[in-house]
Amino acid sequence: MSAVLRTRTVRDLLVVLVVVFGVGSIAMLLAHVSPIDGFAQLFDGAFGTPEEVGETLVQAAFLLFPALGIAVAFRAGLFNIGAEGQLVLGGFAAGWIGAQLPMPAYLAIPAVLIAGALAGGAWGAIPGFLKARFGANEVIATLMLNYVAVLLCTYLVTGPLQQGGSGASETAALPKAAQLPDLIGLLADPHPTLAYVLTPFVIAVALAFVLRWLLFRTVFGYELRAAGDAPEAAKRAGIDLGRTALLAMSISGAIAGLGGATIVAGELHRFNTGLSAGYGFIAIAVAIVGNLDPRWIIVASIAFGMLQSGGIAMQAEAHVPKEVIALVTGLVIIALAGRRVVATRRTT
C-alpha cells in the first residue's frame, strides 16, 4: 500500500523539476513576470545571505518534523493527513508548559519538547486506536481531528487556560531558558558553540537518522514496513496489525507534535493559534517527494523550505504572487502520486 507512494526512479525527480520550473514559469508568465527574474529572486531570497540561508533551514526544519512523522505512518500503510493538528496541539502543549515552569534551560527545553511530543503523540494515537479497535478509516479520522485540534487549542488559549488579560489567542511568552537557540544566529556567528546543537534544524536532521535506523534496522521497523507493504502477509507472519497501527500513529503524531514544540521554542517563543503556515499539509508533499526515506526527506525539506522562504522574497521583489508556490506544491503531489498510480495499474 505504502509502496504506491514510493518511487524508485530518477524520473520522478525529473517530474518534480519539470513541474516546479515548467508550471512555475507558466504561472509567472500569466502574472506578467519574467520566469528568469522570478526564479532568480526565489533563489536569491532563499540563499542570498547567511540570514536567508538560516531562514530557509528554519522553514526546512518546520517541514521536516511533520514530514518525518508522516513518513512513519505512510510506511505503516496509514495515510496520516493529520500532522497539522498533531503539530498545533504539540505546539500548544509546549507553549503552555513552557510559560508555566520557571526552570533552568537544561530542564526547561527538554520539558517543552517532551510536552509537545506527548501531546502530538496522544493526538495521533486517537486515530491509531480507532483504526486498531474498530477498523476506522484513518484518512477521515486524521483529517477531521485537524479541525478539532485547532479549535480545541483556540478555545483553551482564549478560555480556561488564558494567560494574562490581553485576550489575544496566544500563551504568555516562554522564558529565555525554554527557548531554542537561533539558527540564523548560528550561521552569522563566526564561532558557533555547542548550544546550537539544539537548533530545530539540527534536532530534525538527527531525528531523521534515528528514524532511518528505527525503520530499517530494528524488528519494530521491519514489522511496521511489512504491515504497510503487505498487510495480509504481515498478519500471517505473526505481526499484530492493530498494535502496529497504534504505535505507528502515536510515533507519527509525536514527531509532528515535537515539530510544533520547536516552532514555539525556536521561533515564536509562545504558542499562537496561527503558528503553523500549513506545515502539516505541505509536509505530505515533502514526505512523498522524499520517497518516504528519512535521508531524502531531509533533502526535500530543504527544497520546500527554499520555496517557503524564497517565495516571500519573490513576492516582494519580483511581484510574483506567493500562491504560485502553493500551486507548484500541489501539482508536485498530484504528479508524483498520479504517476505511481498509473505505473501500478500497468503492472497489475
Residue 239: what are its φ and ψ, rounded to 5°? -90, 130
What is Dmax (Cα atoms) for the chain? Answer: 62
Question: Three cell numbers at 66?
Answer: 511533520
CB of 225 to other proteins, least distance (A): 8
Contact between 140 and other proteins (CB under 8 A)? no
Distances in Å between the alpha carbon of 340 and those of 2, 7, 54, 214, 333? 11, 7, 34, 26, 11
Question: Three cell numbers at 178?
Answer: 525554554
Q: Give, as one character, the DSSP assignment of residue 170.
A: B
> What is the CB neighbour count within 10 angstroms for residue 101?
16
Identify which of residues 44 and 240 has a Cβ nearer to other proteins in the complex.
240
Q: DSSP 3-state assignment of 240?
A: coil
Contact between 184 and other proteins (CB under 8 A)? no
Question: Three cell numbers at 291?
Answer: 520517497
Total residues at interface with other proteins (CB under 8 A)? 19
Q: For other proteins, which residue of 226, 248, 287, 313 counts as binding (CB under 8 A)? A: 226
Of 281, 254, 275, 279, which is closest to residue 153 (Cα–Cα)?
275
Give the range of 37-45, 228-236, 301-309, 316-324 binding other proteins by CB under 8 A.
228-236
CB of 137 to other proteins, least distance (A): 18
CB of 220 to other proteins, least distance (A): 10
Q: For other proteins, which residue of 232, 342, 345, 346 counts as binding (CB under 8 A)? A: 232
Contact between 343 and other proteins (CB under 8 A)? no
Distance CA 89, CA 173 (A): 17
Which x/- pattern over 233-272 shows residues binding other proteins (rule: CB under 8 A)? xxxxxxxx--------------------------------
Place of cell 488559549: 157
Distances in Å between the alpha carbon of 334 and those of 4, 105, 156, 308, 316? 13, 44, 36, 19, 28
Contact between 3 and other proteins (CB under 8 A)? yes
Q: For other proteins, which residue of 168, 229, 295, 327 counts as binding (CB under 8 A)? A: 229
Distance CA 33, CA 18 (A): 19
Identify which of residues 75 and 131 has a Cβ nearer to other proteins in the complex.
75
CB of 237 to other proteins, least distance (A): 4
Distance CA 324, CA 307 (A): 10
Q: DSSP 3-state assignment of 342?
A: helix
Contact between 217 and other proteins (CB under 8 A)? yes
Distance CA 195, CA 299 (A): 24
Identify which of residues 21 and 213 has a Cβ nearer to other proteins in the complex.
213
Give the range of 19-27, 40-48, 96-104, 225-233 binding other proteins by CB under 8 A.
225-233
CB of 320 to other proteins, least distance (A): 40
Contact between 345 and other proteins (CB under 8 A)? no
Q: For other proteins, which residue of 222, 299, 337, 339 counts as binding (CB under 8 A)? A: 222
Contact between 44 and other proteins (CB under 8 A)? no
Of 26, 74, 28, which is closest to residue 315 (Cα–Cα)?
28
Give the range of 110-118, 138-146, 151-159, 229-237 binding other proteins by CB under 8 A.
229-237
Which residues of this chain interact with other proteins, rule CB under 8 A? 3, 6, 217, 219, 222-223, 225-226, 229-230, 232-240
